[in-house]
């Protein structure tokens, strides 16, 4: 009897131990499953974040490439503009050098043409060449008639023009401030044009092509001396010959 009881107690103890062990294993299993699920969820979230970041990196790389291409385009345009500007500058320097050489040649030609005459003087003031008749030669007040010395200077100018076929002249007439009587129908504008025309007509008679000559009258608007003395008025009664359009230099023909 006691033996049977002992066996029954052992069986109950074993069954209890197995049941307790089974309980502990299930709890541990459930805990592990919870941890696994948590890790799986965390992994999924990390994978989504990685995917999102990779997409952002791809987008940023595309934007950076587009910006790089845009900047490269701008740089290429700027370089092209710079090259074009450098060429324009080089061309301008070459043109300026050629113009300076041309002006120097004209100055030398003027000096050679007029420097031998006793009736004229050649001088340069602020880069402008002037051919001036001797001080004794003046227009009479109210007159556009060229005297003998002035005609000789115009004839020399005609030879200069014929030897320089690319030169065009603007002939400007000037007067003093004296006014004409109202009943004469004459004024300083007309007188200044008449003085310029007197020079032009003689140049044409001496073989200068009319197409190379232009007439202008300035009346008393551009004096070179005060009009408050006989000497100043005589100096203002003059005709100017200005090469145009290439040099803009002025050659003074008469007082």
Taking Cα atoms as reference points, which of 123, 122, 115, 119 lies closest to residue 135? 119
Taking Cα atoms as reference points, which of 207, 250, 212, 255 lies closest to residue 107? 250
Beta bridge partners of 133: 120
pLDDT in tens, 68-127: 999 999 999 999 999 999 999 999 899 888 888 877 777 776 666 555 555 555 666 556
Residue 58 lies in a domain: no
Residue 44 lies in a domain: no
Average pLDDT, the chain: 79
Query: Under a CB-based contact definition with an 8 Å cutoff, are residues 224 and 235 in contact?
Result: yes
Q: What is the pLDDT of residue 135?
A: 40
**Backbone phi, psi, residue 139, to 5°:** -75, 145
Residue 213 lies in a domain: yes
Q: What is the pLDDT of residue 193?
A: 94
Distance (Å, whole) CA 125 – CA 132: 12
- Structural domain total, the chain: 1
Query: Under a CB-based contact definition with an 8 Å cutoff, are residues 223 and 240 in contact?
Result: no
Query: Under a CB-based contact definition with an 8 Å cutoff, are residues 131 and 157 in contact?
Result: yes
Q: Spell out a b/e string for 24-37, using b for 16 or more CB atoms within 10 Å of the CB, else e.
A: eeeeeeeeeeeeee
Residue 216 lies in a domain: yes
Residue 68 lies in a domain: no
**Backbone phi, psi, residue 129, to 5°:** -95, 130
Distance (Å, whole) CA 141 – CA 72: 73
* Lowest-confidence pick of 54-68, 99-113, 126-140, 176-190: 126-140
Q: What is the pLDDT of residue 189?
A: 95
**Residue 143 binned pLDDT confidence (cut-offs 50, 70, 90):** confident
Q: Which residues contact 153 (CB under 8 A, 6 or more apart)?
A: 114, 117, 119, 120, 131, 133, 253, 254
* Lowest-confidence pick of 5-9, 154-158, 169-173, 240-244: 5-9
Q: What is the pLDDT of residue 31?
A: 80
Q: Which residues contact 220 (CB under 8 A, 6 or more apart)?
A: 174, 175, 176, 177, 188, 192, 227, 236
Q: What is the pLDDT of residue 194?
A: 93
Residue 224 lies in a domain: yes
| Averaged pLDDT for residues 193-215 | 94
CATH code, domain carrying 189: 3.30.1330.60
pTM passes above 0.85: no
| Averaged pLDDT for residues 116-143 | 59
Residue 24 lies in a domain: no
Residue 130 lies in a domain: yes
Query: Under a CB-based contact definition with an 8 Å cutoff, are residues 215 and 153 in contact?
Result: no
Domain that holds residue 207: 115-254
pLDDT for residue 197 is more than 90: yes
Q: Which residues contact 48 (CB under 8 A, 6 or more apart)?
A: none
For the chain, the first-to-last Cα distance in angstroms comes to 167
pLDDT in tens, 1-44: 556 666 666 666 666 665 555 555 777 767 877 777 888 788 88
| Averaged pLDDT for residues 147-174 | 82
């Amino acid at each position: 009897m006691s033996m049977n009881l002992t066996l029954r107690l052992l069986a109950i103890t074993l069954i209890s131990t197995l049941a307790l062990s089974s309980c502990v294993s299930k709890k541990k299993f459930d805990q592990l499953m919870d941890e696994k699920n948590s890790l799986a969820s965390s992994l999924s979230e990390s994978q989504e974040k990685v995917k999102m970041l990779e997409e952002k990196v791809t987008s940023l790389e595309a934007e950076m490439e587009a910006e790089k291409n845009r900047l490269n385009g701008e740089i290429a345009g700027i370089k092209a503009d710079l090259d074009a500007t450098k060429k324009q500058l080089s061309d301008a320097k070459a043109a300026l050098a050629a113009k300076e050489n041309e002006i120097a040649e004209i100055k030398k030609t003027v000096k050679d043409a007029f420097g031998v005459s006793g009736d004229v003087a050649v001088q340069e003031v602020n880069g402008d060449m002037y051919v001036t008749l001797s001080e004794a030669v003046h227009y009479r007040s109210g007159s556009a008639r060229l005297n003998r010395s002035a005609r000789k200077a115009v004839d020399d100018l005609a030879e200069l023009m014929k030897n320089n076929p690319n030169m065009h002249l603007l002939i400007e007439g000037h007067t003093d401030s004296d006014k004409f009587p109202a009943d004469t129908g004459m004024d300083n504008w007309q007188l200044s044009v008449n003085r310029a025309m007197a020079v032009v007509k003689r140049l044409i008679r001496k073989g200068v092509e009319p197409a190379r000559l232009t007439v202008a009258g300035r009346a008393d608007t551009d004096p070179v001396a005060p009009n408050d003395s006989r000497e100043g008025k005589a100096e203002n009664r003059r005709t100017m010959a200005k090469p145009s359009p290439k040099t803009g230099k002025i050659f003074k023909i008469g007082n």
